């Protein structure tokens, strides 16, 4: 009879060392050993049954911290939703994901229709697009890197900066991808909740940074889901702290404020992220971009996937930038519609909307109405809005700003529920 004993589990890895009692047989294996199995493992086993006991299943290969990760909760895909509701996609009033309902300018459709070289890999440096972005932003292209959505850049930054066990500061309620990507990258999330009015708690942020030495803080301006912005004094205070500040400006166009992209020249610890998803109606094509200090961007170039921006994505983004008049017109339409929507929502007895600098409006659901039920009732009528399952936002819904007819359809359905 040979006894096997679990000698060590290598932290943060699926590698385990297993030793037999005869001292001869030592395995380094990739068997996943859970806490439960670890207990069981100290029991006696025969040679053949050890292999059986440690049954090799697919998840044995997965990194331990990922086995504990809860899956990201995406919203229902448009096509699935339209089938479920038995409606054409264009008949669904989709106000749940802050997309731009006007879509991109006609130049994008034309450029996509005329794609000459879809069978050739894209330029790994997205030079044409970065050149166009330099013109658009006033910041030289050497400071700019493009990604498969701002989402990819959030993950890329974490992969370049965080070691397993490092921490980030997250200021909820905010965009949930920071927390999600931190978990994927084996980082700890230190939460410094926003105050009741959704402004940042700068004092607590300062204390946490001094005490726990986190590596990155994610700041979102305008913030998703409430639409508030971060003023320059607050940003400068946080930039003075020993931490890398990632300022997410996904919705900056709707705020009437200037982007801080150029600030990366003065602040070695600032990264500014932006996207084509909202401003140019290209959410489905996945193009985001960021401004980085030169001392940081160098490493992102080394770590990024070479073909992260597809030919279709680059061509579309370039075509969108060729029609700044269209982008401006659509932005103005959405900002005007936001103000109209705000006034209408304010008249609903059970909604308390928050003023927003973005293309969505957060509403507290009051008067004993249930926010989740409100979202579900509207969904049955073909109007999609966002509800949150986390406890801070349980009593809230977020409504994206749509076209005027979408606002009318929403208000009509709300009236029917009153
Ligand atoms: C604050 C914020 N940042 C980034 C993103 C993602 O942008 P992208 O579509 O470019 O990945 C979103 C999307 O909703 C967002 O709300």
* Residue 337 to residue 343: CA distance in whole angstroms: 10
User: Ligand 1 center to residue 351 CA distance, Å?
Assistant: 26
388 lines ligand 1 (CB under 6 A): no
pLDDT value of position 16: 53
Query: What pTM was computed for the model?
Result: 0.88
302-308: average pLDDT: 97
| pLDDT confidence band for 17 (50 / 70 / 90) | low
At residue 5, the 3 state secondary structure works out as strand
126 lines ligand 1 (CB under 6 A): no
In the chain the first and final C-alpha atoms are separated, in Å, by 74
Atom of ligand 1 nearest to the CA of 151: 11
Give bridge partners of residue 246 from the DSSP assignment. 218, 271
Tokens found for residue 54? 């440690």
Q: Is the dihedral of CA 88, 92, 98, 102 positive or negative?
A: positive
User: Ligand 1 center to residue 2 CA distance, Å?
Assistant: 56
pLDDT value of position 51: 55
Out of 8-12, 89-93, 122-126, least confident range: 8-12
Are both 65-98+326-417 and 106-323 of the same fold? no
pLDDT value of position 376: 94
Q: How many CA atoms lie within 13 A of 202 on its CB side?
A: 13
235-248: average pLDDT: 98
Cβ(101)–Cβ(338) under 8 Å?
Answer: no
383 lines ligand 1 (CB under 6 A): no
Burial 122-150 (b: 16+ CB within 10 A, else e): bbeebeebbebbeebbebebebbbbbbbb
Q: Judge whether residue 303 has pLDDT over 90.
A: yes
358-377: average pLDDT: 96
Burial 33-45 (b: 16+ CB within 10 A, else e): beeeeeeebeeeb
User: Ligand 1 center to residue 150 CA distance, Å?
Assistant: 6
| pLDDT confidence band for 89 (50 / 70 / 90) | confident
pLDDT value of position 199: 97
User: Ligand 1 center to residue 282 CA distance, Å?
Assistant: 11
pLDDT value of position 115: 95
Structural domain boundaries in the chain: 65-98+326-417, 106-323
User: Ligand 1 center to residue 37 CA distance, Å?
Assistant: 40
pLDDT value of position 239: 98
Mind giving me the DSSP string for 179-240?
HHHHHHTT-EEEE----TTS---HHHHHHHHHHH--SEEEEESS-TTT-----HHHHHHHHT
User: If you search the block for the tokens 């982007």, which residue do you land on?
Assistant: 259
Give the CATH class of 65-98+326-417: alpha beta
Among 275, 276, 284, say which to mutate for ligand 1: greatest number of ligand atoms within 8 Å of CB. Answer: 275
User: Ligand 1 center to residue 151 CA distance, Å?
Assistant: 6
Q: What is the tens place of the pLDDT at every residue in 34-69?
A: 444 444 444 444 445 555 556 788 888 999 999 988
pLDDT value of position 19: 52
Q: What is the tens place of the pLDDT at every residue in 255-297?
A: 999 999 999 999 999 999 999 999 999 999 999 999 999 999 9
* Phi, psi angles (nearest 5°) of residue 343: -65, -40
Instruction: Give the CATH fold of the 106-323 domain.
Output: 3.40.640
| pLDDT confidence band for 74 (50 / 70 / 90) | confident
Closest CA to 11 of 51, 48, 65, 90: 65
Q: Judge whether residue 316 has pLDDT over 70.
A: yes
249 lines ligand 1 (CB under 6 A): no
220 lines ligand 1 (CB under 6 A): yes
| pLDDT confidence band for 83 (50 / 70 / 90) | confident
The residues near 205 (Cβ < 8 Å, ≥ 6 apart) are 169, 171, 192, 217, 238, 241
Residue of the CA atom closest to atom 12 of ligand 1? 250
* Residue 221 to residue 49: CA distance in whole angstroms: 57
Residue of the CA atom closest to atom 3 of ligand 1? 250
Q: Fill in the DSSP letter of residue 87.
A: S
User: If you search the block for the tokens 């406890």, which residue do you land on?
Assistant: 391
Give bridge partners of residue 387 from the DSSP assignment. 397
User: Ligand 1 center to residue 127 CA distance, Å?
Assistant: 23
CA-to-CA dists, residue 377 to 123, 347, 380, 410, angstroms: 47, 19, 5, 11
Whole-number average pLDDT of the chain: 89
Determine the length of the chain: 418
Whole-number percent of the chain with pLDDT over 70 = 87
Other CB atoms closer than 10 Å to residue 358's CB: what's the count? 30
Q: What is the tens place of the pLDDT at every residue in 153-189?
A: 999 999 999 999 999 999 999 999 999 999 999 999 9
pLDDT value of position 200: 98
């Amino acid at each position: 009879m040979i006894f096997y004993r679990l000698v060590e589990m290598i932290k943060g890895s699926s590698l385990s060392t297993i030793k037999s009692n005869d001292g001869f047989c030592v395995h380094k294996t990739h068997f996943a050993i859970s806490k439960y199995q670890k207990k069981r493992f100290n029991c006696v086993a025969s040679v053949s049954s050890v292999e059986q006991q440690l049954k090799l299943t697919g998840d044995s290969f997965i990194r331990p911290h990922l086995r504990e990760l809860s899956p990201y909760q995406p919203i229902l895909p448009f096509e699935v939703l339209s089938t479920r509701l038995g409606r054409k996609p264009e008949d669904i009033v989709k106000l749940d994901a802050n997309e731009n309902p006007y879509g991109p300018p006609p130049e994008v459709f034309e450029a996509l229709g005329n794609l000459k070289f879809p069978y050739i890999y894209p330029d790994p440096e997205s030079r044409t697009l970065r050149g166009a972005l330099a013109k658009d932003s006033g910041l030289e292209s050497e400071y700019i890197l493009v990604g498969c959505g701002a989402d990819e850049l959030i993950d890329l930054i974490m992969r370049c900066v965080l070691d397993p066990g490092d921490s980030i500061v997250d200021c909820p309620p905010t965009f949930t991808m920071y927390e999600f990507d931190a978990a994927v990258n084996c980082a700890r999330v230190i939460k410094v909740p926003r105050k009741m009015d959704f402004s940042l708690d700068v004092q607590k942020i300062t204390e946490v940074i001094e005490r726990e030495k986190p590596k990155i803080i994610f700041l979102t301006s305008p913030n998703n889901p409430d639409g508030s912005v971060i003023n320059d004094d607050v940003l400068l205070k946080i930039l003075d702290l020993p931490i890398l500040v990632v300022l997410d400006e996904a919705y900056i166009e709707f705020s009437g404020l200037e982007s801080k992209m150029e600030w990366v020249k003065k602040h070695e610890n600032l990264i500014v992220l932006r996207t084509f998803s909202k401003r140019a109606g290209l959410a489905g094509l996945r193009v985001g971009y960021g401004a980085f200090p030169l001392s940081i961007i160098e490493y992102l170039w080394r770590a990024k996937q070479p073909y992260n921006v597809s030919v279709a994505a680059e061509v579309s983004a370039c075509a969108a930038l060729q029609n700044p008049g269209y982008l401006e017109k659509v932005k103005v339409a959405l900002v005007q519609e936001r103000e109209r929507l705000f006034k209408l929502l304010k008249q609903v007895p059970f909604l308390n909307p928050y003023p927003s600098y973005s293309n969505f409006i957060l509403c507290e659901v009051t008067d004993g109405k249930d926010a989740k039920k409100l979202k579900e009732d509207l969904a049955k009528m073909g109007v999609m809005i966002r509800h949150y399952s986390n406890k801070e936002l349980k009593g809230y819904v977020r409504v994206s700003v749509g076209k005027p007819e979408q606002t009318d359809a929403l208000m009509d359905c709300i009236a029917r529920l009153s």
